Amino acid sequence: MTAKPAKFTPVLLAVAAALVATGGARGQEMDFGKVEIRTERLAPNLYMLTGSSGLDPSHEDAAGGRIGVLAGPDGILMIDSQYAQLNAKVLAAVRRISDGPIRWLVNTHIHRDHTAGNAFFARHGAVILAREELRAGMVRLSKAPDAAKNPVADPAGFPVITYGMGEAVRIRMNGETVDLVPVRAAHTGGDTSIRFENANVVFIGDFYRNYGYPFIDIANGGSLDGMIEGLDATLRSADANTVLVPGHGTVITRDDLIPYRDMIVAVRQRVQEMVSQGKTLKEVLAAKVTAAYDARVAGGTQASAERFVTAVYREVGGRTE
């Protein structure tokens, strides 16, 4: 159940800033010319692309979301497409890996630091796959008054193959089995994790992040329960050797998910207790319910913590003011 938005103005301003243009940073706040795209090899034919750190106001750890590249004789499969302003640099990084055709582009979720380059890569031959909910969100954006200024709203970048909850979509190429695993509404309402079975690598998008507190994007269909469910599903499917690649923060292993999940559950329990006592959102925020974790959360700013607690408050049924 999603409650009506609370009327605590300072928090809403912080949340609104975080949700500008479907959750990505505003282009004018970052000097994209300074961003470099780094490449790291995760397996013989699987790579991770990461933008420079310290330049993106929304993601100080790295500019934009991470990109995955599976390359080989069958062509290229990409995971996410970054900010539109970085199209040429991302393509150049991909071409340093392979000059093969870009056949597939899978989106982990709708935010522009993961999808704004879709139209560009579609023009380079990529067929875009994503959740039906993600495509529906893009269609809604395309009908907004400012659609012409939003690259996520460009119909050329909409997914052309979509899927819902249920069995994973499977792609076999370059000697790899790639599973597109739908995740119940978590970070957003259209999340997907991508598992490379032979490499034992999973790109998990943004329903886990170890830079800043969790971001439950209620405006785009995210949910607290779905985030916990997604973490539980990942814990079940991963083993001690699985490499987990979040959209932001550092690459992790299965064991790193456990304290993250425990923190979310503990904060939810504390917020639920305060809601049961009739506490307002302002009172819950003043109680600093994340204080025990602040020193351990890299990038855990007050705004990040308040955004997280506000989303939890809303989802557990906190009253509006």
Taking the C-alpha atoms of residue 236 and residue 199, their distance in angstroms, rounded to an integer, is 17
Task: Give a yes or no: residue 319 inside a domain.
Answer: no
- What is the predicted pLDDT for the residue at 260? 94
Instruction: Name the β-bridge partners of 129.
Output: 106, 161
Lookup result for tokens 């994503």: 130
Lookup result for tokens 């997280």: 308
Q: What's the sign of the alpha-carbon dihedral 67, 293, 55, 156?
A: positive
Task: Give a yes or no: residue 13 inside a domain.
Answer: no
Render pLDDT for 43-69 as a digit per residue (tens, 0 to 9). Answer: 999 999 999 988 888 788 888 999 999
Please answer whether residues 136 and 107 qualify as being in contact, where contact means their C-beta atoms are separated by less than 8 angstroms: no
DSSP string, 270-294: HHHHHHHTT--HHHHHHTTTTHHHH
- What is the predicted pLDDT for the residue at 25? 40
DSSP string, 91-151: HHHHHHH--S-EEEEE-SSS-HHHHTTHHHHHHTTPEEEEEHHHHHHHHHHHTSTTGGG-G
Task: Give a yes or no: residue 200 inside a domain.
Answer: yes
Q: Which of 26, 80, 94, 43 is nearest to 205 (CA)?
A: 80
Task: Give a yes or no: residue 27 inside a domain.
Answer: no
| Mean pLDDT per 10-residue segment, the chain (321 residues) | 33 36 50 95 97 84 92 98 97 98 98 97 98 97 94 97 95 98 94 97 92 89 93 95 94 94 95 94 94 85 90 84 59
Task: Give a yes or no: residue 281 inside a domain.
Answer: no
Taking the C-alpha atoms of residue 63 and residue 157, their distance in angstroms, rounded to an integer, is 21
Task: Give a yes or no: residue 23 inside a domain.
Answer: no
- What is the predicted pLDDT for the residue at 202? 98
Taking the C-alpha atoms of residue 184 and residue 218, their distance in angstroms, rounded to an integer, is 13
- What is the predicted pLDDT for the residue at 4? 34
- What is the predicted pLDDT for the residue at 22? 45
Q: Which domain holds residue 245?
A: 35-261
- What is the predicted pLDDT for the residue at 319? 67
Q: How many CB atoms lie within 10 A of CB 87?
A: 20
- What is the predicted pLDDT for the residue at 317? 84
Render pLDDT for 87-119 as a digit per residue (tens, 0 to 9). Answer: 999 999 999 999 999 999 999 999 999 999 999
The number of domains in the chain is 1
Supply the CATH number for residue 81's domain. 3.60.15.10
Taking the C-alpha atoms of residue 110 and residue 23, their distance in angstroms, rounded to an integer, is 9
The pTM assigned to this predicted structure is 0.88
Q: Which element (helix H / strand E) includes 162? A: strand 161-163
Task: Give a yes or no: residue 70 inside a domain.
Answer: yes
- What is the predicted pLDDT for the residue at 297? 85
DSSP string, 169-236: EEEEETTEEEEEEEE-SSSSTTEEEEEETTTTEEEEETSS-SSSS----GGGT--HHHHHHHHHHHHH
Task: Give a yes or no: residue 106 inside a domain.
Answer: yes
